[in-house]
Amino acid sequence: MADVLRTYSEENLKQVVTDLGQPSYRVKQLVEWLFVHPVLSYDEMTNLPASFRKALKERFPLLPPRIYNRQISRDGSRKYVLQLDDDSLIEMVAMPQEKDRLSVCLSTQVGCPLQCIFCATGREGFQRNLRADEIVDQVIIAQNDFNMRVSHVLAMGQGEPFLNYDNLMDALHVLNDPHRMAIGSRHITISTSGMIKGIERLASEPDQFTLAVSLHAAIQSLRDKLMPKMASQPLDMLHQALITYYKKTRRRFTLEYVLIDKVNDSPACLEALIDFCQYLHCHVNLIPLNDTGDEGFKPSGSRTLNQWQNTLIQHHIETTVRNSRGADIMGACGQLKNSL
């Protein structure tokens, strides 16, 4: 049994309560404090006796991230730089949408080893994987800061989720469990740079999490330039993995395509994307690049965006354009943290 209480099932918590000589009704109280109306410290668990809290603190220290910096966007979204207990920094964004809807874009690693050249996180290098509780705590921090339940989760912040597969799944199970944080599986999205092993593993899980794949180029040589570390996982294999994913799960997935002016937005690039979408049950999400100031990359213009969207739709490919939220607070992950 791992020593991170925030990932414990009710069974495991029963064991803890018994081991520490407490009556069984404490299990319900713990579940309440850890998951239902979660707090980040034992001191806030006010209906537990001090001796029990002390024993828990010693045996199962909670090591939540702390808010190091918070920026509030004009559109209401909030971007956080969080400091972990080893002092490293990650980013998290919370976006209130309609009434009752609060989406959190969380990080899964400190930095990222994949070094995509348009990505601020890729440029900072890789430090470590996040623990499952550090992933869950990001949701709790947003929830407490907004005083509102988080309804949607996107593993789309810093890091490559499938390179931290086990901790990610442990965390998502806590978030999804109806007796714990109860966020519906279809409201949980995992964004990957296209790691084939991860896509295959996800396809064999019973959970109905949503998959998003960062494509950014359907021409191999161009993709290799933009995402050099993904060159070992060629597009034809990715395509095959996505066909298999759909056959197994019957779930549509999203292809994300960041449009960079004069880099991956030519007519030939569009044609390649249309070809790639053949035989795939996908939804395309076009994203204007968030200018990170480096490499001279600029977002494609709105004319190109509209033209891409219209052409894809003409080819019966469901396509949306993502409005980058929080652009005024350095929307692309890694940007705010790296500017502090």
Residues whose CB falls within 8 Å of the CB of residue 6, separated by 6 or more in sequence, listed in order: 34, 62, 132, 133, 136, 137, 174
3-state secondary structure 60-90: CCCCCCEEEEEEECCCCCEEEEEECCCCCEE
Instruction: Give me the amino acid identity at 332.
Output: A
Out of 112, 181, 269, 272, the residue judged to bind ligand SF4 by CB under 6 A: 112
Using CB under 6 A as the binding criterion, the count of chain residues that bind ligand SF4 stands at: 12
Cβ atoms 122, 116 nearer than 8 A: yes
What is the x/- site pattern for ligand SF4, positions 210-229, by CB under 6 A? ----x---------------
191 binds ligand SAH (CB under 6 A): yes
| CA atoms of 218 and 196, how far apart (whole Å) | 16
Position 190 contacts ligand SF4 (CB under 6 A): no
Of 21-29, 63-71, 117-125, 198-206, the segment contacting ligand SF4 by CB under 6 A is 117-125
What single-letter DSSP state applies at residue 36? I
- Helix and strand counts by DSSP (H, E) for the chain: 12, 12
From the list 157, 267, 257, the residue with the least C-alpha distance to 214 is: 257
Count the Cβ atoms, other than its own, within 10 Å of residue 336. Answer: 22
- The entry of ligand SAH, ligand SF4, none near residue 258 (CB within 5 to 8 angstroms by kind) is ligand SAH
Examine residue 73 and tell whether it contacts ligand SF4 (CB under 6 A).
no
256 lines the binding site for ligand SF4 (CB under 6 A): no
CB-CB contact of 199 with 192 (8 Å): yes
Q: Does 336 bind ligand SF4 (CB under 6 A)?
A: no
Q: Does 311 bind ligand SF4 (CB under 6 A)?
A: no
Query: Is 134 one of the annotated active-site residues of the chain?
Result: no
Among all chains, which residue has been given the structure tokens 């190109």?
A: 304
Pick from 249, 264, 292, 338: which binds ligand SAH (CB under 6 A)? 292
x/- contact string, 150-169, with ligand SF4 (CB under 6 A)? Answer: --------xxx---------
Task: Determine the residue with CB nearest ligand SF4.
Answer: 122
> Which CA distances in Å does 204 have to 160, 241, 246, 330, 337?
19, 12, 11, 36, 35
Instruction: List binders of ligand SAH among 95-154 (CB under 6 A).
Output: 112, 118-119
Catalytic residue among 10, 44, 91, 105: 91
Rounded least distance, CB 159 to ligand SF4, Å = 6
- Of the residues 256, 284, 327, 329, which one makes contact with ligand SAH according to CB under 6 A: 256
Among 115, 127, 309, 324, binds ligand SF4 (CB under 6 A): 115
Residues 116, 269, 282, 333: which is the catalytic one?
333
Closer to ligand SAH by CB, 5 or 287: give it.
287
To the query of whether residue 116 is one of the catalytic residues in this protein, the response is: no
| Contacts (Cβ under 8 Å, ≥6 apart) of 326 | 71, 73, 75, 77, 78, 79, 93, 95
Helix (H) or strand (E) holding 91: strand 89-96
Q: Does 119 bind ligand SF4 (CB under 6 A)?
A: yes
The span of 59-67, 168-176, 288-296, 310-318 binding ligand SAH (CB under 6 A) equals 288-296
Residue 50, token pair as written in the block? 């001090």
The entry of ligand SF4, ligand SAH, none near residue 115 (CB within 5 to 8 angstroms by kind) is ligand SF4
Asked if 238 interacts with ligand SF4 (CB under 6 A), we say no
Question: How far apart are the two ends of the chain, measured CA to CA in Å?
Answer: 38
Helix 267-277, helix 302-314: angle, nearest 10? 30
Residue 47, Cβ density class (10 Å: 0-12 exposed, 13-18 middle, ≥19 buried): exposed
Residues labelled catalytic:
91, 333
Applying CB under 6 A, which residues contact ligand SF4? 112, 114-116, 119, 121-122, 158-160, 193, 214
Summarize as ranges the residues that interact with ligand SAH (CB under 6 A). 112, 118-119, 156, 160, 191-193, 214, 256, 258, 287, 289-290, 292, 332
